[in-house]
Amino acid sequence: MPRRADVTAVPGSAGPGIIEPMTRRSAGLLVWRGPADRPQVLLGHMGGPYWQQKDAAAWSIPKGEYEPDEEPLDAALREFAEEIGVPAPPGPYAPLGDVVQRGTKVVTAWAVAGDLDVSTIESNTFEMEWPPGSGRRATFPEFDRAAWFELPVARLKIVQGQLPLLDRLVRELTGGPGPRHGEPEAQAR
pLDDT in tens, 111-130: 999 999 999 899 999 999 99
Instruction: Name the residue ranges covered by the structural domains of the chain.
Output: 4-174
When pLDDT is cut at 50, 70 and 90, the band that residue 161 belongs to is very high
Cα dihedral: 115, 121, 122, 124 (round 10): 90
When pLDDT is cut at 50, 70 and 90, the band that residue 26 belongs to is very high
pLDDT higher than 80, residue 179: no
When pLDDT is cut at 50, 70 and 90, the band that residue 78 belongs to is very high
Tell me the HSE value of 52 on the side-chain side, using a 13 A CA sphere: 5
Angle at CA of residue 150, ends 146 and 151, nearest 5°: 110
Exposed/middle/buried for residue 94 (C-beta within 10 Å: 0-12, 13-18, 19+): middle
Residues near 15 by beta carbon (within 8 Å), at least 6 away in sequence: none
- Percent of the residues in the chain that have a pLDDT greater than 90, as a whole number: 75
Average pLDDT, the chain: 85
Mean pLDDT value of segment 141-157: 97
pLDDT higher than 80, residue 39: yes
Task: Identify the CATH assignment for 4-174 out of 3.40.190.10, 1.10.3720.10, 3.30.565.10, 3.90.79.10.
Answer: 3.90.79.10
- pLDDT value at position 177? 62
When pLDDT is cut at 50, 70 and 90, the band that residue 23 belongs to is confident
When pLDDT is cut at 50, 70 and 90, the band that residue 144 belongs to is very high
Listed range (15-19, 79-83, 97-101, 106-110) with the worst mean pLDDT: 15-19
Tell me the HSE value of 143 on the side-chain side, using a 13 A CA sphere: 26
Which helix (H) or strand (E) segment is 78 a member of? helix 72-84
Q: How many whole angstroms separate alpha carbon 189 and alpha carbon 184?
A: 13
Angle at CA of residue 37, ends 99 and 83, nearest 5°: 45
pLDDT higher than 60, residue 89: yes
- pLDDT value at position 102? 81
Q: Which residue has the higher pLDDT, 185 or 23?
A: 23
Residue pair 12/92 in contact (Cβ under 8 Å)? The answer is no
Statement: the pTM of the whole predicted model exceeds 0.85:
no
When pLDDT is cut at 50, 70 and 90, the band that residue 178 belongs to is low
